[in-house]
C-alpha cells in the first residue's frame, strides 16, 4: 500500500495552488470561508494540508475563487510536472 496522499509531494503542490487561487481572487481566508459557509479555520486547515477536499468541495473552492475546475486541474498537472523535473 502506498503513502497516504497527505504525505505525497503532490499534496504540497495542491495546497500551494489552492492558496494561490484564493490570493489571485483577492480573497483572504475569512472571505473565502464566508463564501463557502464554513469557518475560517476550515480554509486554513485545507491550505495547510490538514483537511482533504472531495471533488465537490474542490469545485466549490474553485468557483468561489473565480476559476473553472478544469482550469484548476490543468494548472495542478502543470505544477506537478514542473515539481517532478530534476534540476539541471
pLDDT in tens, 19-77: 999 999 999 999 999 999 999 999 999 999 999 999 999 999 999 999 999 999 999 99
Find, among 18, 69, 26, the residue nearest to 44 by Cα: 18
Cβ atoms 43, 32 nearer than 8 A: yes
pTM: 0.88
Q: Would you say the C-alpha torsion 42, 46, 51, 54 has a positive or negative sign?
A: positive
Angle, vertex CA 67, rays to CA 64 and CA 59, nearest 5: 60
Amino acid at each position: 500500500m502506498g503513502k497516504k496522499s497527505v504525505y505525497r509531494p503532490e499534496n504540497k503542490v495542491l495546497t500551494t495552488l489552492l492558496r494561490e487561487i484564493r490570493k489571485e481572487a483577492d480573497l483572504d481566508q475569512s472571505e473565502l470561508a464566508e463564501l463557502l459557509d464554513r469557518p475560517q479555520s476550515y480554509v486554513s486547515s485545507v491550505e495547510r494540508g490538514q483537511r482533504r477536499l472531495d471533488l465537490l468541495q474542490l469545485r466549490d473552492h474553485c468557483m468561489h475563487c473565480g476559476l473553472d475546475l478544469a482550469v484548476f486541474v490543468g494548472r495542478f498537472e502543470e505544477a506537478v510536472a514542473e515539481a517532478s523535473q530534476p534540476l539541471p
